[in-house]
Structure 1
Amino acid sequence: MTRVLFVLTSHGELGDSGRPTGFHLGETAEPWRILRDAGHEVDLVSVRGGRPPMTGYDAGRPDHDDFLKDPEGSRLLDRARTPEEADPDDYGAVYFVGGHGAMWDFRGHPALDRLTRRIHASGGVVAAICHGPAALVDVRLPDGRHLVAGRDLTSFADAHDEARGLDGLLPFPLQRTLEERGAVYSSAPDRTPHVVVSGRLVTGQNPASARRLGERLVALLAAGPV
């Protein structure tokens, strides 16, 4: 059994638009179930602690209701610690869940940077999906290089944010910024699953990629630390 730390945004508004956002439920529920079924333990933090704002709920998706109604899933949300309270040495992987809120409070967060660096340095897995890779933009390795430099990865595509009319609301363009850090970016058509594994870094493009990302994460954990 490996402990995996899920990180959720606490940001609940799309800029100053008054439109709600938060962490994406589907990107949480599907990997959580896959990891739990594989025998792993999941802990959860939110940037400000406690139950964070949520988006992406689909009443027609049983896995969404299963997570929210499961006593363990509900406990994880209600009792979420802050990133500062999490010890990176306790975890074999960290997973940055998406949702547009991550664009405001993931990037450059000192405790999230520390968790990412320490887990990666110890041979653990770093995973992120959709807008979750915002947490990776400014993370540097001990030699000063950006973590994402030269790494194959994906995230929500800038063009797909533009198609939703969100590019003017977001604090920065995620895809372009990752590329400026040296990442080798790829994407699939909108709403199509796309997951990229580069060593111990696994990234998913969008909510449709959540199941596949969970499966890749389980496979990397089974391979053990590198």
Structure 2
Amino acid sequence: MKKVLIVETNVTRYKGTKEATGLWLGEAAEFVDELNKAGIDYDFVSPKGGFVPLDPRGMNYTDESIISVYEDPDFVHRGLTNTLKPAEVNPDDYFAVYYTGGHGVMWDFPDNKELQLIAKEIYTHDGYLVSVCHGIAGLLNIKDDNGNYLIANKSITGFTTAEEILAGKKSVVPFLNKELAEKNGAIFKKKRFYKDYAIKDGRIITGQNPFSVRSVAKLLVNEGTLGGN
């Protein structure tokens, strides 16, 4: 069975500020927990490789399952301190790429050509593009060989403008997910703020916010199991 490639951020602070950000722990840990239950293997990659910072605000939204993954030496080693560099990744090894969130991703996911190429290769070979919350930033600018956005005419979701306002970050982020998604041809869907919401359109699976991680993972696990990847 092929693996899932989990993408995480290297960004430590909101650009232009002294405020810390990074990976929203639950968006990696809950996803990993679901993959572990399903017996699906995975690797971690980040734009620069190596260290992945944690968004301190995300540590206020943990439970025993998240902390258990966080305490796992394998997760700490592969997922937080020694993530792969894009150049070390062979797209043929994976049936899906999953973009985690945390505000940091809005600066190092959208325009990373190496990650875009990896994701395009996985998707082109019948793989899945998956994201949750701000992780949608990794999907927004991926194009096919003809220059068309892969999200065009696809129903997707991600952290909403209302949620950005409630988080107090609307004036800090470099773009709003809904606006850029629609600019690039996607059909942006949402539910009430901070409610679990995950959708699948073809081989693209997305979740709205941190409360949607397990729903996203289960949609993918179901595809991986049925598809025999």
TM-score (norm 2): 0.94
Q: Which ranges in structure 1 are unaligned for 5 or more consecutive residues?
A: none
Residue-by-residue CA offset, 1:178-199 (whole Å, 9 max, x unaligned): 0111111111111100001001
Give the match for residue 199 of structure 1. Answer: 202
Give the match for residue 168 of structure 1. Answer: 171
Q: State the SS of the aligned residue for 1:131.
A: helix
Cα–Cα, structure 1 residues 225 and 121, in superposed 2: closer, same or farther, change >3 Å? Answer: farther
Distance 2:137 2:160 in 1: 12
In structure 2, give the amino acid aligned to 1:45.
V
In structure 2, give the amino acid aligned to 1:71.
P
Runs of 4+ displaced beyond 4 Å: none
Q: State the SS of the aligned residue for 1:73.
A: helix
- 1:63 pairs with 65, 85, 88, which one? 65
- Name the % identity: 33
Residue-by-residue CA offset, 1:43-89 (whole Å, 9 max, x unaligned): 00122211211121247511221112112212212221112221111
Residue-by-residue CA offset, 1:14-33 (whole Å, 9 max, x unaligned): 12221111011101011101
In structure 1, give the amino acid aligned to 2:26.
G
Distance 2:52 2:145 in 1: 32
In structure 2, give the amino acid aligned to 1:80.
T
Q: Note if contact 2:51-2:82 (Cα within 8 Å) is conserved in structure 1.
A: yes
Cα–Cα, structure 1 residues 87 and 60, in superposed 2: closer, same or farther, change >3 Å? Answer: closer
In structure 1, give the amino acid aligned to 2:191.
A
Deviates more, 1:142-151 or 1:91-100: 142-151
Cα–Cα, structure 1 residues 191 and 140, in superposed 2: closer, same or farther, change >3 Å? Answer: same
Deviates more, 1:54-63 or 1:211-220: 54-63
What RMSD, in angstroms, separates the aligned Cα atoms of the two structures? 1.5
Q: Which ranges in structure 2 are unaligned for 5 or more consecutive residues?
A: none
Give the match for residue 80 of structure 1. Answer: 83
Give the match for residue 151 of structure 1. Answer: 154
Give the match for residue 53 of structure 2. Answer: 53
Residue correspondences, number: 226
